[in-house]
Amino acid sequence: MAIDYPAARASLVRILSKEIRDERALDAIGRVPRERFVPAPLRQHAYENRPLPIGNGQTISQPLMVALMIQALRLRGDEKLLEVGTGSGYQAALLSHLAREVVTVERVPELAESARRRLADLGYANVRVHVAGEALGWPSDAPYDAISVTAGAPAIPRSLVDQLAMNGRLVVPVGGRRVQQLVRASKSDRGVTVERLGECRFVPLIAADGGWPERADSHNGARATG
Ligand SMILES: C[S@@+](CC[C@H](N)C(=O)[O-])C[C@H]1O[C@@H](n2cnc3c(N)ncnc32)[C@H](O)[C@@H]1O
């Protein structure tokens, strides 16, 4: 029997609305076809509240975790935003509804290319996808009003704080290779304020400056929420 994706999407939004207060984030989740961002054999699971493998040892994050991260960014709609970790492009698609401009970088060229194609096919015109370069993030387009990091870092990456605009927010999982705390760092003229938002499990951020070294077992897709 054919799956009724719009109904499944609406049901996911109802589930998330028990924990998420950001109405704009919920509205975006109700618009973006998550089934287009997961591998075809897994489409029937697209609206389950769990991460799914997307190839190359990486994951599309759990919808609740995506919603919590977006809520933590406190977006109004006029922001220039950086996402580190494009993956499938799903979160970038949500963010394109919620910010003025989205720059997203992905370390794995194959994932960046398929996300770029998918986002273009779906008409997300305010998203630019880049293959990550030497430096973490995308410094040439900085500063950003908001930065979302969808992979876990050992500590808040200094280079990403440097890419934040004044009054900007950086949301990043920080901790061990497998378990982290979701953290929001807010930049003001008085310095950087850090808040801990709860436990999470993301695949590792791989980077020489502010990430983990690459390792053969560098993914934890089976246990990740993100
Ligand atoms: C949990 S997945 C991202 C999920 C994605 N936001 C989505 O909606 O599908 C984390 C991604 O971060 C990428 N990544 C890890 N280190 C990175 C880095 N230094 N720069 C850019 N991307 C990185 C991984 O390759 C992986 O695709």
Report if residue 213 sits inside a domain. no
Q: Is the pLDDT of residue 36 over 70?
A: yes
pLDDT number for residue 215: 80
Q: Which domain range does residue 184 map to? A: 5-200
Task: Quickly state the pLDDT bin for 216 (edges 50, 70, 90).
Answer: low
Question: Ligand 1: does its nearest atom lie under 6 Å from the Cβ of 95?
Answer: no
pLDDT number for residue 63: 98
Report if residue 22 sits inside a domain. yes
Report if residue 24 sits inside a domain. yes
Structure tokens at 85: 């970790």
DSSP-derived 3-state class of residue 224: coil
pLDDT number for residue 223: 58
Report if residue 223 sits inside a domain. no
Could you tell me the CATH number of the domain that includes residue 156?
3.40.50.150
Closest-CA residue, ligand 1 atom 27, reads 87
d(CA 179, CA 131): 26
What ligand 1 atom has the least distance to the C-alpha of 54? 9
Question: Ligand 1: does its nearest atom lie under 6 Å from the Cβ of 105?
Answer: yes
Report if residue 119 sits inside a domain. yes
Q: Residue 221 Cα, ligand 1 centroid: separation in angstroms?
A: 11
pLDDT number for residue 22: 98
Report if residue 140 sits inside a domain. yes
Task: Quickly state the pLDDT bin for 219 (edges 50, 70, 90).
Answer: low
Q: Residue 190 Cα, ligand 1 centroid: separation in angstroms?
A: 31
Report if residue 143 sits inside a domain. yes
Q: Residue 9 Cα, ligand 1 centroid: separation in angstroms?
A: 24
Per the model's pLDDT, the better-predicted residue between 75 and 222 turns out to be: 75
Quick one: what percent of the chain has pLDDT higher than 70? 96
d(CA 150, CA 152): 7
Calculate the average pLDDT of the chain. 95
Structurally, the chain folds into a number of domains equal to: 1
For the four alpha carbons of 20, 21, 25 and 29, in that order, the dihedral sign comes to positive
Structure tokens at 127: 């998203």
d(CA 177, CA 100): 32
State the Cα angle at 67 between 215 and 32, rounded to 5°.
Answer: 100
Mutate to test the pocket of ligand 1, among 68, 70, 95, 107 (most ligand atoms within 8 A of CB): 107
pLDDT number for residue 226: 72
What ligand 1 atom has the least distance to the C-alpha of 90? 8
Q: Residues with catalytic annotation?
A: 61
d(CA 61, CA 44): 16
pLDDT number for residue 50: 96
Q: Residue 44 Cα, ligand 1 centroid: separation in angstroms?
A: 23
Report if residue 27 sits inside a domain. yes
